[in-house]
Amino acid sequence: MTFYAERLPDFPWDSLTPIRQRAAEHPQGVCDLTIGSPVDSVPVGVQEALMLGSDAHGYPPTVGTAELREAIVDFVERERGVTGNVGIIPALGSKEMVALLPSFLGLGEGAIVAFPAIAYPTYDVGARLAGCEPMLLDTESDPAGWDSDISLLWLNSPSNPHGHVLSVEQLRRIVAWARENDVIVASDECYAPLCWGVDEAPSLLDKRVCGGDTRGLLMLYSVSKQSNMAGYRASFLAGDTELIAGITELRKHCGFMMPSFVQHAMAVALGDSEHVDAQREVYARRREVLLDAVERAGLVNDDDRVAGLYLWVRAPEALGVSGWDIVRACAELGVIVTPGDFYGEAGRDFVRMSLTATDEAISAAAARLPALSALLEANA
């Protein structure tokens, strides 16, 4: 008997157990900058909406309540530049959809699922679960040189982990290539509000990109980051009406229904941009504090890291140290960071630092990180 789990790589975060144990020995405690789980409060209006919807005695609609569907349509038009008729379906957090989209699309053995060479591991997991062949791709390169046999291409802009953003021009080139080669393109855009070095992170469904024609195109979006609602598991998929219709039928059969009180809370969150702006300012302050500390530690920033919820840094090449060397040195300071090879071999020299720690933890980490330079030089 073959289990699906046998197709998958080891869960990478399990390998951080000894690192966490070493960091816990620091006399001033641990500063955990690994997983990007929000620590700030859910907006009060969203919490109230959740409670108001709690008398949920009936089954919720898989396709989403009329209130939520209207809120999603308004949001993608207002915030993501989407026009025309689009299909929409709520999802139980973006990770669920990333892991299951190849299966929902009916892809299987022989199909190629491509995703960025440095990327969140679940794109690879989703391909393997469906029995597809995963393929690493430089999604910032010229599509003319890409494999034409790809069935599904994942984009992630702004990227987790390195914060790169695909321009309108690059997205246009990708759409043209995909249509020429009959490739479905899915774009994970959950970090879109968090732009630092660019004015925007355009959507795959933006009318400037696709001309209002969403055939073969899907956008995945979540309120986990912009509204601190990771615990609500609230996201949605939008785009090609035929693809969304097929996915919806499968989700009906499987019972993938977002609880109705979560749907109400999500509709309220999508309709309020003020709390999103306020949260962006919180992350901007934390980012500046951590950036200053990283620079004083002698680490090198990725020049194209212009958006997102993380810092993506490495030691100077002259030191010849890997991302894991930085991880171990940080643990000596009671700071836990994520090794870059969790996101692909191309990230082996980098580490990811999350901005989702508390102000106190960010400040404590910033006070300790300048000592990293001496540790790395001693171990080089």
Q: What is the pLDDT of residue 1?
A: 42
What's the predicted TM-score (pTM) here? 0.94
**Structural domain boundaries in the chain:** 4-41+275-379, 44-272
Mean pLDDT for the stretch of residues 324-344: 94
| Domain 4-41+275-379 and domain 44-272 have a common topology | no
Residue 4 scores a pLDDT above 70: no
**68-82, 297-311, 325-339, 357-371: which has the minimum mean pLDDT?**
297-311
Model confidence band, residue 7 (pLDDT cutoffs 50, 70, 90): low
pLDDT digits (tens, 9 = 90+) for 65-122: 999 999 999 999 999 999 988 999 999 999 999 999 999 999 999 999 999 999 999 9
Q: What is the pLDDT of residue 3?
A: 54
Residue 255 scores a pLDDT above 80: yes
Residue 196 scores a pLDDT above 70: yes
Model confidence band, residue 2 (pLDDT cutoffs 50, 70, 90): low
Q: What is the pLDDT of residue 171?
A: 98
pLDDT digits (tens, 9 = 90+) for 121-158: 999 999 999 999 999 999 999 999 999 999 999 999 99
CATH 3.90.1150.10 fits 4-41+275-379, yes or no: yes
pLDDT digits (tens, 9 = 90+) for 16-67: 899 999 999 999 999 999 988 999 999 999 999 999 999 888 999 999 999 9
CATH architecture group of domain 44-272: 3-Layer(aba) Sandwich (3.40)
User: Of the candidates 163, 284, 270, which has an alpha carbon nearest to the alpha carbon of residue 223?
Assistant: 270
Q: What is the pLDDT of residue 353?
A: 96
